Structure 1
Amino acid sequence: MAIMEILEVPDPRLRAKAKPVAAIDDGVRKIVSDMFDTMYDARGIGLASIQVGIEQAIVVIDLQEDLPPEEEGGEPRPGRQPQVFINPEITWQSDELATYSEGCLSVPEHYADVDRPVRCRATWLDLDGGSHEQEFDGLMATCIQHEMDHLNGIVFIDHVSRLKRDMILKKLAKARRAA
Protein backbone atom coordinates (compact mmCIF):
# COMPACT_ATOMS: atom_id res chain seq x y z
CA MET A 1 0.00 0.00 0.00
CA ALA A 2 1.48 3.30 -1.09
CA ILE A 3 -0.23 6.63 -0.53
CA MET A 4 0.80 9.21 -3.09
CA GLU A 5 0.83 12.98 -2.64
CA ILE A 6 -2.27 14.57 -4.16
CA LEU A 7 -1.41 17.84 -5.85
CA GLU A 8 -3.57 20.79 -4.88
CA VAL A 9 -4.41 23.96 -6.79
CA PRO A 10 -2.62 26.15 -7.71
CA ASP A 11 0.15 23.58 -8.33
CA PRO A 12 1.15 24.09 -12.01
CA ARG A 13 1.57 20.33 -12.50
CA LEU A 14 -2.24 20.07 -12.44
CA ARG A 15 -2.22 21.94 -15.77
CA ALA A 16 -0.12 19.28 -17.51
CA LYS A 17 -1.72 17.18 -20.23
CA ALA A 18 -1.46 13.42 -19.89
CA LYS A 19 0.28 11.36 -22.53
CA PRO A 20 -1.13 8.01 -23.64
CA VAL A 21 0.10 4.92 -21.82
CA ALA A 22 2.38 3.16 -24.31
CA ALA A 23 2.31 -0.30 -22.70
CA ILE A 24 0.33 -1.74 -19.82
CA ASP A 25 2.99 -3.39 -17.70
CA ASP A 26 3.76 -4.02 -14.03
CA GLY A 27 4.79 -0.37 -13.63
CA VAL A 28 1.37 0.81 -14.80
CA ARG A 29 -0.36 -1.79 -12.60
CA LYS A 30 1.63 -0.49 -9.59
CA ILE A 31 0.59 3.10 -10.39
CA VAL A 32 -3.06 2.02 -10.59
CA SER A 33 -2.82 0.15 -7.27
CA ASP A 34 -1.19 3.14 -5.59
CA MET A 35 -3.81 5.48 -7.09
CA PHE A 36 -6.62 3.36 -5.60
CA ASP A 37 -4.86 3.33 -2.21
CA THR A 38 -4.49 7.10 -2.40
CA MET A 39 -8.09 7.70 -3.50
CA TYR A 40 -9.55 5.46 -0.79
CA ASP A 41 -7.30 7.01 1.87
CA ALA A 42 -8.53 10.48 0.85
CA ARG A 43 -12.16 9.23 0.74
CA GLY A 44 -12.57 10.22 -2.90
CA ILE A 45 -14.57 8.59 -5.67
CA GLY A 46 -12.22 9.37 -8.56
CA LEU A 47 -8.58 10.18 -9.18
CA ALA A 48 -6.66 11.06 -12.34
CA SER A 49 -2.95 10.36 -12.68
CA ILE A 50 -2.21 14.07 -13.21
CA GLN A 51 -3.44 14.68 -9.65
CA VAL A 52 -0.57 12.57 -8.31
CA GLY A 53 2.02 14.04 -10.67
CA ILE A 54 2.01 11.25 -13.26
CA GLU A 55 1.59 12.45 -16.84
CA GLN A 56 0.07 9.23 -18.18
CA ALA A 57 -3.59 8.86 -19.15
CA ILE A 58 -4.91 6.84 -16.20
CA VAL A 59 -8.13 7.31 -14.23
CA VAL A 60 -9.46 5.29 -11.31
CA ILE A 61 -13.06 5.54 -10.11
CA ASP A 62 -15.12 3.85 -7.42
CA LEU A 63 -18.53 5.38 -6.75
CA GLN A 64 -19.24 3.05 -3.82
CA GLU A 65 -18.92 4.64 -0.42
CA ASP A 66 -16.32 3.12 1.85
CA LEU A 67 -18.87 2.31 4.54
CA PRO A 68 -18.18 0.59 7.84
CA PRO A 69 -19.23 -3.07 8.09
CA GLU A 70 -22.96 -3.62 8.33
CA GLU A 71 -24.39 -3.62 11.80
CA GLU A 72 -26.08 -6.74 13.08
CA GLY A 73 -29.53 -6.94 11.53
CA GLY A 74 -28.86 -3.95 9.27
CA GLU A 75 -28.95 -3.68 5.53
CA PRO A 76 -26.03 -5.17 3.60
CA ARG A 77 -23.54 -2.54 2.54
CA PRO A 78 -22.20 -2.45 -1.00
CA GLY A 79 -18.59 -3.41 -1.50
CA ARG A 80 -16.02 -1.51 -3.46
CA GLN A 81 -16.35 -1.47 -7.23
CA PRO A 82 -13.02 -0.18 -8.53
CA GLN A 83 -12.89 0.80 -12.19
CA VAL A 84 -9.72 1.54 -14.17
CA PHE A 85 -9.61 3.63 -17.34
CA ILE A 86 -6.33 3.66 -19.29
CA ASN A 87 -6.06 6.03 -22.27
CA PRO A 88 -9.72 7.01 -21.88
CA GLU A 89 -11.44 9.15 -24.48
CA ILE A 90 -14.90 10.67 -24.46
CA THR A 91 -16.37 9.93 -27.87
CA TRP A 92 -19.82 11.48 -27.43
CA GLN A 93 -21.67 13.77 -25.02
CA SER A 94 -25.38 14.54 -24.84
CA ASP A 95 -26.69 18.03 -25.48
CA GLU A 96 -28.75 17.81 -22.30
CA LEU A 97 -26.89 19.13 -19.25
CA ALA A 98 -27.13 18.29 -15.57
CA THR A 99 -25.86 20.31 -12.62
CA TYR A 100 -23.91 18.52 -9.92
CA SER A 101 -22.17 19.95 -6.86
CA GLU A 102 -18.63 18.79 -7.57
CA GLY A 103 -15.72 18.49 -5.23
CA CYS A 104 -12.15 17.46 -5.92
CA LEU A 105 -9.25 15.98 -3.99
CA SER A 106 -7.06 18.68 -5.58
CA VAL A 107 -9.41 21.41 -4.28
CA PRO A 108 -9.98 20.09 -0.75
CA GLU A 109 -13.19 20.88 1.10
CA HIS A 110 -14.62 23.10 -1.63
CA TYR A 111 -17.64 22.37 -3.80
CA ALA A 112 -19.33 24.19 -6.66
CA ASP A 113 -22.18 23.53 -9.07
CA VAL A 114 -20.89 22.46 -12.47
CA ASP A 115 -23.00 21.87 -15.59
CA ARG A 116 -21.92 18.88 -17.66
CA PRO A 117 -23.57 16.67 -20.27
CA VAL A 118 -25.94 14.27 -18.52
CA ARG A 119 -24.69 11.35 -20.64
CA CYS A 120 -21.42 10.52 -22.35
CA ARG A 121 -19.79 7.62 -24.14
CA ALA A 122 -16.17 6.71 -23.52
CA THR A 123 -13.57 4.26 -24.78
CA TRP A 124 -10.64 2.96 -22.73
CA LEU A 125 -8.31 0.09 -22.03
CA ASP A 126 -8.37 -2.07 -18.90
CA LEU A 127 -5.37 -3.42 -16.96
CA ASP A 128 -5.16 -6.41 -19.31
CA GLY A 129 -5.12 -4.21 -22.42
CA GLY A 130 -8.73 -5.04 -23.29
CA SER A 131 -10.63 -2.35 -25.16
CA HIS A 132 -13.98 -1.08 -23.85
CA GLU A 133 -16.71 1.32 -24.90
CA GLN A 134 -19.65 2.26 -22.73
CA GLU A 135 -22.25 4.98 -22.32
CA PHE A 136 -22.54 6.51 -18.85
CA ASP A 137 -25.15 8.68 -17.17
CA GLY A 138 -25.77 10.20 -13.76
CA LEU A 139 -22.92 10.43 -11.28
CA MET A 140 -20.69 8.14 -13.36
CA ALA A 141 -21.00 10.46 -16.38
CA THR A 142 -20.13 13.44 -14.19
CA CYS A 143 -17.21 11.63 -12.59
CA ILE A 144 -15.64 10.36 -15.82
CA GLN A 145 -15.92 13.83 -17.39
CA HIS A 146 -14.41 15.43 -14.26
CA GLU A 147 -11.45 13.02 -14.25
CA MET A 148 -10.97 13.33 -18.02
CA ASP A 149 -10.74 17.10 -17.52
CA HIS A 150 -7.76 16.46 -15.21
CA LEU A 151 -6.01 14.51 -17.96
CA ASN A 152 -6.37 17.64 -20.11
CA GLY A 153 -5.07 20.07 -17.47
CA ILE A 154 -8.53 21.28 -16.43
CA VAL A 155 -9.73 21.52 -12.81
CA PHE A 156 -13.46 21.69 -11.98
CA ILE A 157 -13.17 25.27 -10.73
CA ASP A 158 -12.33 26.24 -14.33
CA HIS A 159 -16.03 25.60 -15.04
CA VAL A 160 -17.32 28.13 -12.49
CA SER A 161 -17.48 31.91 -12.59
CA ARG A 162 -14.28 33.89 -12.12
CA LEU A 163 -15.69 35.33 -8.87
CA LYS A 164 -16.44 31.87 -7.42
CA ARG A 165 -13.06 30.50 -8.56
CA ASP A 166 -11.17 33.45 -7.03
CA MET A 167 -13.08 33.02 -3.78
CA ILE A 168 -12.16 29.32 -3.59
CA LEU A 169 -8.50 30.03 -4.39
CA LYS A 170 -8.33 32.73 -1.68
CA LYS A 171 -9.87 30.37 0.90
CA LEU A 172 -7.38 27.62 -0.04
CA ALA A 173 -4.44 30.03 0.26
CA LYS A 174 -5.70 31.24 3.65
CA ALA A 175 -6.08 27.64 4.89
CA ARG A 176 -2.51 26.83 3.76
CA ARG A 177 -1.13 29.86 5.59
CA ALA A 178 -3.00 28.83 8.74
CA ALA A 179 -1.68 25.26 8.57
Structure 2
Amino acid sequence: MIFPVYVYGSAVLREPAEEIADRSLITPRFIEDMFETMYSSDGVGLAAPQVGRNLRLFVVDASPNADDDPRLADFKKVFINPEIYERSEEEVLMGEGCLSVPGIHEEVYRPERIRIRYLDENWQEHDEEWDGFAARVIQHEYDHLDGVMFVDRLSPLRKTLLRGKLSSMSKGKYKASYRTKQK
Protein backbone atom coordinates (compact mmCIF):
# COMPACT_ATOMS: atom_id res chain seq x y z
CA MET A 1 0.00 0.00 0.00
CA ILE A 2 1.26 3.45 -0.84
CA PHE A 3 0.79 5.89 2.02
CA PRO A 4 0.18 9.60 1.52
CA VAL A 5 3.21 11.68 2.52
CA TYR A 6 2.53 14.32 5.16
CA VAL A 7 3.57 17.78 4.01
CA TYR A 8 5.21 20.78 5.72
CA GLY A 9 2.75 22.26 8.20
CA SER A 10 1.54 18.86 9.43
CA ALA A 11 1.86 18.55 13.20
CA VAL A 12 3.21 14.96 13.09
CA LEU A 13 6.36 16.24 11.34
CA ARG A 14 7.23 18.42 14.35
CA GLU A 15 6.68 15.89 17.12
CA PRO A 16 9.58 13.83 18.48
CA ALA A 17 8.92 10.22 17.49
CA GLU A 18 8.36 7.51 20.08
CA GLU A 19 10.86 4.74 20.75
CA ILE A 20 9.52 1.39 19.55
CA ALA A 21 9.34 -0.98 22.51
CA ASP A 22 6.63 -3.28 21.16
CA ARG A 23 7.76 -5.23 18.08
CA SER A 24 4.16 -5.75 17.01
CA LEU A 25 3.99 -2.04 16.08
CA ILE A 26 6.35 -2.73 13.15
CA THR A 27 5.13 -5.41 10.81
CA PRO A 28 6.96 -6.62 7.70
CA ARG A 29 4.00 -5.27 5.71
CA PHE A 30 4.42 -1.78 7.22
CA ILE A 31 8.11 -1.77 6.28
CA GLU A 32 7.28 -2.98 2.77
CA ASP A 33 4.67 -0.21 2.47
CA MET A 34 7.25 2.36 3.62
CA PHE A 35 9.61 1.28 0.83
CA GLU A 36 6.78 1.21 -1.71
CA THR A 37 5.73 4.74 -0.70
CA MET A 38 9.33 5.98 -0.93
CA TYR A 39 9.84 4.42 -4.38
CA SER A 40 6.55 5.74 -5.75
CA SER A 41 7.56 9.24 -4.60
CA ASP A 42 11.08 9.00 -6.07
CA GLY A 43 12.71 9.32 -2.66
CA VAL A 44 15.88 7.77 -1.24
CA GLY A 45 14.62 7.81 2.35
CA LEU A 46 11.36 7.97 4.28
CA ALA A 47 10.70 8.33 8.00
CA ALA A 48 7.61 6.98 9.77
CA PRO A 49 6.44 10.49 10.81
CA GLN A 50 6.26 11.37 7.11
CA VAL A 51 3.47 8.80 6.73
CA GLY A 52 1.72 9.86 9.92
CA ARG A 53 3.23 7.29 12.31
CA ASN A 54 5.01 8.80 15.30
CA LEU A 55 7.60 6.01 15.53
CA ARG A 56 11.42 6.00 15.54
CA LEU A 57 11.82 4.21 12.23
CA PHE A 58 13.04 5.13 8.78
CA VAL A 59 13.93 3.34 5.57
CA VAL A 60 16.56 4.24 2.99
CA ASP A 61 17.59 2.97 -0.41
CA ALA A 62 20.37 4.87 -2.14
CA SER A 63 21.40 1.88 -4.27
CA PRO A 64 20.31 3.69 -7.48
CA ASN A 65 23.18 6.12 -6.76
CA ALA A 66 25.78 3.31 -6.91
CA ASP A 67 27.02 4.55 -10.29
CA ASP A 68 28.29 7.67 -8.51
CA ASP A 69 29.44 5.83 -5.37
CA PRO A 70 29.86 2.01 -5.59
CA ARG A 71 29.59 1.77 -1.77
CA LEU A 72 25.88 2.53 -2.17
CA ALA A 73 25.21 -0.65 -4.20
CA ASP A 74 23.72 -2.43 -1.18
CA PHE A 75 22.56 0.63 0.73
CA LYS A 76 18.96 -0.45 1.31
CA LYS A 77 18.27 -0.47 5.03
CA VAL A 78 15.67 -0.24 7.78
CA PHE A 79 16.59 1.77 10.89
CA ILE A 80 14.55 1.09 14.05
CA ASN A 81 15.23 3.13 17.21
CA PRO A 82 18.39 4.65 15.70
CA GLU A 83 20.84 6.73 17.70
CA ILE A 84 23.49 8.85 16.02
CA TYR A 85 26.11 9.07 18.74
CA GLU A 86 29.07 10.51 16.90
CA ARG A 87 29.37 13.22 14.23
CA SER A 88 32.50 14.52 12.56
CA GLU A 89 33.43 18.14 13.03
CA GLU A 90 33.94 18.48 9.28
CA GLU A 91 30.73 19.56 7.58
CA VAL A 92 29.89 19.39 3.90
CA LEU A 93 27.47 21.53 1.90
CA MET A 94 25.18 19.55 -0.40
CA GLY A 95 21.78 20.02 -2.01
CA GLU A 96 18.80 18.38 -0.33
CA GLY A 97 15.12 17.99 -0.97
CA CYS A 98 12.39 16.29 1.01
CA LEU A 99 9.20 14.46 0.13
CA SER A 100 7.48 16.46 2.89
CA VAL A 101 8.62 19.75 1.34
CA PRO A 102 7.72 19.23 -2.34
CA GLY A 103 9.39 21.46 -4.88
CA ILE A 104 12.01 22.97 -2.59
CA HIS A 105 15.68 22.04 -2.86
CA GLU A 106 18.37 23.85 -0.89
CA GLU A 107 22.03 23.54 0.08
CA VAL A 108 22.47 22.24 3.65
CA TYR A 109 25.58 21.76 5.80
CA ARG A 110 25.81 18.41 7.58
CA PRO A 111 28.62 16.45 9.23
CA GLU A 112 30.59 14.43 6.67
CA ARG A 113 30.76 11.30 8.87
CA ILE A 114 28.53 9.73 11.52
CA ARG A 115 28.34 6.67 13.78
CA ILE A 116 24.91 5.18 14.39
CA ARG A 117 23.39 2.36 16.44
CA TYR A 118 20.08 0.86 15.34
CA LEU A 119 17.99 -2.26 14.99
CA ASP A 120 17.18 -3.65 11.54
CA GLU A 121 13.88 -5.18 10.42
CA ASN A 122 14.91 -8.48 12.06
CA TRP A 123 15.61 -6.69 15.34
CA GLN A 124 19.35 -7.31 14.97
CA GLU A 125 21.61 -4.65 16.49
CA HIS A 126 24.05 -2.71 14.31
CA ASP A 127 26.74 -0.14 15.04
CA GLU A 128 28.04 1.44 11.85
CA GLU A 129 30.04 4.35 10.52
CA TRP A 130 28.91 6.14 7.37
CA ASP A 131 30.20 9.07 5.38
CA GLY A 132 29.36 10.94 2.20
CA PHE A 133 25.92 10.61 0.65
CA ALA A 134 24.91 7.69 2.89
CA ALA A 135 25.63 9.75 6.02
CA ARG A 136 23.62 12.63 4.57
CA VAL A 137 20.57 10.47 3.84
CA ILE A 138 20.71 8.92 7.32
CA GLN A 139 21.00 12.32 9.01
CA HIS A 140 18.14 13.77 6.97
CA GLU A 141 15.80 10.92 7.91
CA TYR A 142 17.05 10.85 11.51
CA ASP A 143 16.13 14.54 11.82
CA HIS A 144 12.51 13.63 11.02
CA LEU A 145 12.45 11.43 14.12
CA ASP A 146 13.31 14.49 16.22
CA GLY A 147 10.74 16.76 14.55
CA VAL A 148 13.42 18.58 12.54
CA MET A 149 13.15 19.29 8.82
CA PHE A 150 15.95 20.16 6.43
CA VAL A 151 14.60 23.71 5.99
CA ASP A 152 15.28 24.25 9.71
CA ARG A 153 19.00 23.85 8.94
CA LEU A 154 19.10 26.68 6.39
CA SER A 155 20.75 30.03 7.01
CA PRO A 156 18.49 32.76 8.41
CA LEU A 157 18.58 34.52 5.02
CA ARG A 158 17.45 31.40 3.11
CA LYS A 159 14.70 30.78 5.68
CA THR A 160 13.47 34.34 5.20
CA LEU A 161 13.50 33.97 1.42
CA LEU A 162 11.49 30.72 1.65
CA ARG A 163 9.01 31.94 4.28
CA GLY A 164 6.28 32.70 1.73
CA LYS A 165 6.60 29.35 -0.08
CA LEU A 166 6.58 27.42 3.19
CA SER A 167 3.59 29.37 4.47
CA SER A 168 1.70 28.61 1.26
CA MET A 169 2.69 24.96 1.50
CA SER A 170 1.35 24.72 5.05
CA LYS A 171 -1.98 26.03 3.67
CA GLY A 172 -2.12 23.35 0.99
CA LYS A 173 -0.75 25.40 -1.91
CA TYR A 174 1.89 23.20 -3.52
CA LYS A 175 2.29 20.61 -6.26
CA ALA A 176 3.54 17.07 -5.82
CA SER A 177 3.58 14.11 -8.20
CA TYR A 178 2.70 11.71 -5.37
CA ARG A 179 -0.09 11.37 -2.79
CA THR A 180 0.21 13.87 0.04
CA LYS A 181 -1.70 14.79 3.15
CA GLN A 182 -1.82 17.66 5.60
CA LYS A 183 -3.02 17.45 9.16
* Same fold by TM-score greater than 0.5: yes
Q: TM-score range by the shorter chain?
A: 0.7 to 0.9
Q: State how far apart, in whole Å, the 1-side matches of 2:18 and 2:143 are.
A: 13
Q: Please name the residue that 1:101 is paired with.
A: 95
Match of 2:80 among 79, 86, 90: 86
- Alignment RMSD (CA, Å): 2.3
- Distance change (3 Å), C-alpha of 1:176 and 1:25: closer
Letter in structure 2 aligned against 1:40: Y
Deviations 1:135-178 (A, max 9, x none): 00000111111111000000000001234234334235279447
Q: Say if 2:117 and 2:126, in contact at 8 Å, map to a contact too.
A: yes
Larger radius of gyration: 1
Q: How many residues align?
A: 167
The gaps in structure 1 that reach 5 residues or longer are 67-77
Letter in structure 1 aligned against 2:43: G
The share of aligned pairs that are identical, in percent, is 37
Q: Say if 1:24 and 1:128, in contact at 8 Å, map to a contact too.
A: no
Residues 146-157 of structure 1: pairs in structure 2 closer than 5 A: 146-157=140-151
Letter in structure 2 aligned against 1:33: E
Residues 61-140 of structure 1: pairs in structure 2 closer than 5 A: 61-65=60-64, 81-140=75-134
Q: Please name the residue that 2:162 is paired with.
A: 168
RCO comparison, higher one (Cα < 8 Å, 6+) = 2
1:52 partnered with 2:51: yes
TM-score (norm 2): 0.83
Q: State how far apart, in whole Å, the 2-side matches of 1:65 and 1:110 are.
A: 22
